[in-house]
Structure formats: structure tokens, C-alpha cells
């Protein structure tokens, strides 16, 4: 009887495990075909009907104040998981400084496929006053619609701003530096960001695949989409170019808008080394960069918080001072063993420290057009 029971159990176990194996296989098959159908769904270009949705605002926000720089952050219409976490971290870090620098953060979303979360998106928007929603389905291949929407929105609601910024949600912006550059009008007219040149992607099924009949040239030049700036004096021209552009409205936003459209409308692209595609790990990264993408952090928003918190001006000065005094200390020690060298570290004045640090940055070609303030 006991034996029978055992074999029965074994049988049940093995059959259930083969069953679960079968369901696993089925699941994989379903996911695969779903993925394939998603790729099939991609149209590569937008219709006139889709384009008209870029005028339709679902969740609205106030106009910009005169001279306020809007910073548009592409994020997804979900109320949990990484997109929500990133919004929260941005609100706790660089967005928190925005107001005092006459900047304003607006998270830009589309309409979620799952309409049941629309209510919580609305609640999040009411609470933070920083969400703009447009009336097209949220999807990676609708990012061109998103970018066009925010250009149009800026034209209608931020006409007295000097610049606008487009950024992704895995980016850290150096707000004090942006403020200095904007205030001193140091940013050239047109588009500014990290200029990229890449061959046109002809690999079927690739995320960035581009069919030859839609884009016959062999390569693109454009600004990396993680972050770029547009001076408002070119906004009207930019929008006009989009409307009159005779070719297909392609679904890869950065290369279409900052590459193809900018070329067609003769809107200048300016390269800036302050836009970092991979943000560094040392505490001085923040001091020398304007936009830092994929910080060690990008996947985990808590790291992003720590990066921002640790990369403050003072840590950088301190880091710099220590490494300088360390280098200076060594030879001295061999000459005069008895003197206490630790006192020489602590007696450097703050002014001297800043002067040394500024020299260091100039030596490394990292300080052009930016004046440091006292910490």
C-alpha cells in the first residue's frame, strides 16, 4: 500500500513536471509569436491620422513662465516598475533643483494600452503637476509622435522660453551647469547635443532596422536622443520643416528629427562633449558634464539617487584636493621626514582649492564657457 502510494506520487510528480515543461514550451512559443507579431506591427512610418494625434493633449499642464526652460522627459505610461521608479528618483534628485534655476520638468507619456491605469496616472499628475499626456498609444515605436507632440506643445505654451530640453528618464542632468549656460546664452542657436554618425541598419528584425526604400542613404548623422537642446528661435522653423517634409515620418525619433528633418530644414547641429553617452563613475563626472546617460545606475533607480547624492560639488573638490595633495606630499616626505604633512592638506584655503581645481579643468580642456561658483 505504502509502496503503491509512493509510485502514485512519483507518477503524479513526473506527469506534473512534464505538464509544466509542456506549458513552459507553450509559453515560450506564445511569447515568441507575440514578439514576432509586435515586430510585424511596426509600420516604420506614421500616417497623417497618427500625426494629428500629436495635437491632442489628454493630461494638460500650465504654460511656461517667461524665461523658464522646459525639460521634457520621455517616460512610459505605467504606474509601477522601472518607469515609475525613475520618475520618482528624478523628482527626488535633479528635478528638485529645477525651480530655483528657472527650469521645469515635464514627463511626457502616451495613452497606456491598459486603460485601467489611466486613473492612477491622472492622480500622479494631479499630485506632482509634471505629467503631460498625449493621445496616442504608448509604444517604443511611437516616440517620434511623442517628440513632435512636445515640440508643438512648446510652441503653444512656452513661446517665451530661451531653450527647450528633451531628455530620457535614465539621464542625470547637471542643473547648475545648465542654468549657467542658459543664463549666459552660451548655447548656440539650433540643436545641441552629442553628434552621432552611424551606418543605416539593414538587419531584419533589429530594433533599429531601417528599410532601404524608406531611407536609401548608407548612414545617418544625428544627435543621440538621450538628451539634446533646441534654442527656441529655431522652434518655428523646425515645426514648419516637419510639416512640409515630403518624405516618410520615420518611427525612430532622434535620427528622424535631429538628423533627417534638421538637415532638410538646415537647422544646425552642434556637438557638445558635455553630453556623455556613458556617464563616468568618479565624483567629478557631474562637475564636468551637462547630461549623463546610463550612469552606473541606469537600470536601478536607487543607484541613480546615490550617484546624484554623492556627486555633489564639494565631494569633487574634496576628491580633487586629496589627489593633488597626495601627489605633492610624496617627494616632500623623502626630503623632510620629520615635518607633519597632514597639516598641509587641511590648511589649503577654499579659494585656493577652487583655483587649483579650475586650473585642473582648464588643463584638461573641460572648462570652456562655464564659470564655477563658490561651493
Ligand X SMILES: *[C@@H]1O[C@H](CO)[C@@H](O)[C@H](O)[C@H]1NC(C)=O
Secondary structure of 264-292 as H, E, C letters = HCCCCEEECCCEECCCCCCCCHHHHCCEE
Report yes or no: 70 and 164 within 8 Å, Cβ to Cβ: yes
Residue 136 CB, nearest distance to ligand X (Å)?
4
Binding flag, residue 353, ligand X (CB under 6 A): no
Binding flag, residue 215, ligand X (CB under 6 A): no
Binding flag, residue 108, ligand X (CB under 6 A): no
Instruction: By CB under 6 A, name the one of 268, 299, 309, 330 that touches ligand X.
Output: 268
Residue 251 CB, nearest distance to ligand X (Å)?
7
Q: Where are the alpha helices (DSSP H) in 57-171?
A: 81-92, 118-128, 143-157
Binding flag, residue 178, ligand X (CB under 6 A): no
User: Measured at CB, which residue is nearest to ligand X?
Assistant: 139
Residue 31 CB, nearest distance to ligand X (Å)?
18
Binding flag, residue 270, ligand X (CB under 6 A): yes
Number of H-type helices and E-type strands within the chain:
14, 11
| Sequence-separated (6 or more) residues with CB below 8 Å from residue 53 | 134, 135, 136, 145, 149
Instruction: By CB under 6 A, name the one of 39, 57, 117, 137 that touches ligand X.
Output: 137
Report yes or no: 189 and 234 within 8 Å, Cβ to Cβ: yes
Binding flag, residue 238, ligand X (CB under 6 A): no
Going by the DSSP 8-state scheme, the letter that residue 45 receives in this structure is: B
Rank residues 9 and 268 by Cβ distance to ligand X and give the closer one: 268
Binding flag, residue 236, ligand X (CB under 6 A): no
Binding flag, residue 89, ligand X (CB under 6 A): no
| Sequence-separated (6 or more) residues with CB below 8 Å from residue 250 | 44, 45, 144, 210, 214, 215, 256, 260
User: CA-CA distance, 366 to 363, in Å (whole number)?
Assistant: 8
Binding flag, residue 370, ligand X (CB under 6 A): no
Q: How many residues bind ligand X (CB under 6 A)?
A: 12
Give residues in contact with ligand X (CB under 6 A): 41-42, 50, 53, 136-137, 139, 141-142, 188, 268, 270
Amino acid at each position: 500500500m505504502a509502496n503503491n502510494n509512493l509510485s502514485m506520487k512519483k507518477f503524479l510528480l513526473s506527469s506534473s513536471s512534464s505538464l509544466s515543461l509542456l506549458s513552459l514550451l507553450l509559453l515560450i512559443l506564445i511569447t515568441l509569436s507575440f514578439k514576432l507579431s509586435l515586430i510585424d506591427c511596426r509600420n516604420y512610418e506614421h500616417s497623417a491620422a497618427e500625426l494629428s494625434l500629436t495635437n491632442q493633449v489628454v493630461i494638460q499642464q500650465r504654460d511656461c513662465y517667461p524665461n523658464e526652460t522646459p525639460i521634457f522627459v520621455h517616460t512610459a505610461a505605467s504606474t509601477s516598475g522601472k518607469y515609475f521608479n525613475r520618475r520618482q528618483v528624478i523628482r527626488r534628485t535633479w528635478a528638485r533643483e529645477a525651480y530655483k534655476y528657472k527650469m521645469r520638468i515635464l514627463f511626457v507619456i502616451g495613452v497606456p494600452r491598459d486603460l485601467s491605469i489611466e486613473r492612477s496616472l491622472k492622480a500622479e499628475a494631479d499630485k506632482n503637476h509634471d505629467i503631460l499626456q498625449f493621445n496616442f498609444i504608448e509604444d517604443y515605436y511611437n516616440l517620434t509622435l511623442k517628440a513632435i507632440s512636445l515640440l508643438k506643445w512648446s510652441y503653444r505654451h512656452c513661446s517665451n522660453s530661451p531653450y527647450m530640453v528633451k531628455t530620457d528618464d535614465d539621464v542625470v542632468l547637471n542643473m547648475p551647469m545648465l542654468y549657467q549656460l542658459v543664463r549666459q546664452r552660451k548655447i548656440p542657436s539650433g540643436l545641441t547635443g552629442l553628434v552621432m554618425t552611424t551606418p543605416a541598419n539593414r538587419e531584419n528584425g533589429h530594433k533599429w532596422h531601417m528599410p532601404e526604400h524608406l531611407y536609401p542613404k548608407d548612414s545617418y548623422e544625428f544627435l543621440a536622443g538621450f538628451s539634446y537642446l533646441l534654442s527656441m528661435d529655431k522652434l518655428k522653423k523646425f515645426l514648419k520643416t516637419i510639416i512640409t517634409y515630403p518624405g516618410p515620418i520615420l518611427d525612430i525619433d532622434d535620427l528622424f528629427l535631429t538628423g533627417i528633418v534638421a538637415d532638410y530644414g538646415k537647422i544646425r547641429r552642434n556637438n557638445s562633449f558635455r553630453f556623455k553617452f556613458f556617464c563616468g563613475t568618479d565624483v567629478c563626472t557631474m562637475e564636468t558634464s551637462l547630461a549623463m546617460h546610463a550612469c552606473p545606475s541606469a537600470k536601478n533607480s536607487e543607484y541613480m539617487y546615490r550617484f546624484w547624492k554623492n556627486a555633489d560639488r564639494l565631494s569633487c573638490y574634496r576628491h580633487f584636493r586629496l589627489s593633488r595633495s597626495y601627489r605633492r606630499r610624496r617627494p616632500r616626505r623623502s626630503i623632510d621626514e620629520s615635518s607633519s604633512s597632514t597639516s598641509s592638506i587641511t590648511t589649503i584655503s577654499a579659494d585656493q582649492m577652487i583655483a587649483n581645481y579650475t586650473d585642473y579643468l582648464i588643463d584638461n580642456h573641460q572648462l570652456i564657457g562655464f564659470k564655477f561658483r563658490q561651493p
